[in-house]
Structure 1
Amino acid sequence: MQVTINGIETRYVLDNEGGGPWLTFVHQLGGDLSVWDQLAGYFRDDYTVLRYDLRGHGASAVPDKPFTVADLAADLAALLDALGAPSTHLVGLSLGGMTAQHFALDYPSKVETLTLADTLSRTPPENRALWEQRAATVRREGVAGLVPATLERWLTADFRQAHPEVVEQIGEVMTQTSAQSYAFACEALRDFDVHARLGGIRVPTLAVAGRHDPGTPPAATEAMARAIPGARFEVLEAAHLAPVEQSHRFAALLETFLDTRV
């Protein structure tokens, strides 16, 4: 399905067989809603499950101007309004987790619970140049050249060897991401910092990290969790895409967390 949100034609998939509370999943940089396929299937009998493509990703339109993580949060708010969802349980991965944090801070009445996977609450000053360089590289050379090294960071060697079809799909989605959109997202990540505001999050929060994540170390995710009142922190035996690599364990954690909050 497609709907225009803040001037951006946005793809979404809604599974509401269960007709239960809303549960929204937000994907990573260079990803799309397909990263949540397995988890959506797990929860759709009990929840109204929403997945969508961030602006410039997947089948959503490519923006013609830079955007911020706050803009991505505003897109989600507008999408929920368009679909008639008063509030949602919210799950975000990496860039999606940053979007989820911003959303919980900017639209607190729309969030029931918050689950943040493999993400952090700010880009350290020393890492800003990295995102600048990555944006410049993508504008110059395209996204495809980044895919092999990215997949090595995102998934452990054991998982890549055991599940080549999953790795291929994730890599293909990243390859198809427009260079302009990817560069804009890198610059949004460069400027992201909500750490000082996290004490204002008042909904139940679960934070999950991959023990073998080199790009977003578990310590960074844990620091985010410590700044959110009452947040729970868990570590899974995975790299950056813990909800993919440890999908059953992640689903069990999320199910238990939601069961105690619904």
Structure 2
Amino acid sequence: MQVTINGIDTRYVLSNEGGGPWLTFIHQLAGDLSVWDQQAGYFRNDFTVLRYDLRGHGETALSLGAFSIEQLADDLAELLHKLGAPSTHVVGLSIGGMVAQQFAVDHASLVDSLTVVGAPAFTPEDARPTFGQRAASVRENGTENIVEATLDRWLTADFRKRHPEVVEQIRDTILRTPPEGFARAAEAIRDFDVREKLRSVAKPTLVVAGKHDTGTPNAASRLIADTVPGALFETLDAAHLSPIECSTQFTALLATFLRSSV
């Protein structure tokens, strides 16, 4: 389904067979809402499950000009308003985890719980040039230029070997991502920092890290758990995309957390 959010034609999928509390999933850079297919299928009987494509990703249009993580969080707030959601449990992966943190800080009244997966609280100074370089590279050469290196970071070699069909689906999603959508999102990541605001998060919080995640080291994820009062920290035997690589374990972990938060 499509709805206009802050002037942007936005794709979303709403599964509310259970008619329960709202549960929103936010995808990774160069991803789309399909990364959450398994979780949406599992939770739809007990929750009103919302998935959507970020600006310039999937089937959501690209806005004019640069955008920030704060603006992406505002997009989610407006989407929830348009759909009539009073509040939501929010789960974000990678850039989605950054958006989820920003959303919890800027729109606290809309948050029932926060789950951050494979995302830091800020982009370190020495890593910022990398995101600028990726943005420039993709603008010039398209996502074809980064797809193999991205897959290497996102999934362990063993998983890629055992599940080539999953790898192909993710590769196709990366390749379909509009270059400018990727570039502007990468630049938003470059400038992201909520370290000084996380202590204000007062809702139940779960932080999930992949043991083999080189893009978001475990220490970066643990910083969030150490900063948000009462936050839980868990690791899974995965690289960056732990909800894909350890889908059963991740879903069980999230289900347990949500049961304690409802």
Alignment RMSD (CA, Å) = 0.6
Distance 1:140 1:261 in 2: 45
Aligned partner of 1:85: which letter? A
Aligned partner of 2:133: which letter? Q
Shift of 1:64: 2.2
Aligned partner of 2:206: which letter? L
Q: What do residues 175-194 of structure 1 show as CA deviations (whole Å, max 9, x unaligned)?
A: 11111111101110010000
Overall identity of the aligned pairs, in %: 61
Q: Which residue of 2 aligns with 1:52?
A: 52
Distance 1:57 1:181 in 2: 6
Aligned partner of 1:218: which letter? N
Distance 1:19 1:97 in 2: 25
Q: Indicate the larger mover: 3-12 or 59-68.
A: 59-68
Q: Which residue of 2 aligns with 1:250?
A: 250
Q: What do residues 161-207 of structure 1 show as CA deviations (whole Å, max 9, x unaligned)?
A: 11111111111111111111111011100100001111000000000
The alignment partner of 1:196 has SS state of coil
Shift of 1:51: 0.3
In structure 2, the gaps of 5 or more residues are: none
Q: What do residues 13-33 of structure 1 show as CA deviations (whole Å, max 9, x unaligned)?
A: 000000000000000000000
Shift of 1:63: 1.9
Distance 2:3 2:45 in 1: 24
Q: Is the 8 A contact 2:137 2:145 kept in 1?
A: no
In structure 1, the gaps of 5 or more residues are: none
Distance 2:194 2:261 in 1: 25
5 Å matches for 1:1-262? 1-262=1-262
Once superposed, which parts of structure 1, at least 4 consecutive aligned residues long, lie more than 2 Å away? Answer: none
Q: Indicate the larger mover: 93-102 or 137-146.
A: 137-146
Distance 2:160 2:71 in 1: 33
Q: What do residues 90-127 of structure 1 show as CA deviations (whole Å, max 9, x unaligned)?
A: 00001000000000000000000000000100000011
Distance 2:87 2:208 in 1: 22
Aligned partner of 1:70: which letter? E
The alignment partner of 1:112 has SS state of strand
Distance 2:211 2:76 in 1: 29
Distance 1:260 1:200 in 2: 21
Distance 2:18 2:165 in 1: 29
Distance 1:260 1:133 in 2: 42
Q: What do residues 24-68 of structure 1 show as CA deviations (whole Å, max 9, x unaligned)?
A: 000000000000000100100100000000010000002221000
| TM-score of the superposed pair, with normalisation by structure 1 | 0.99
Shift of 1:261: 1.3
Distance 2:125 2:178 in 1: 26
| TM-score of the superposed pair, with normalisation by structure 2 | 0.99
Distance 2:102 2:223 in 1: 16
Distance 1:234 1:164 in 2: 27
Shift of 1:224: 1.5
Aligned residues: 262
Distance 2:167 2:134 in 1: 22
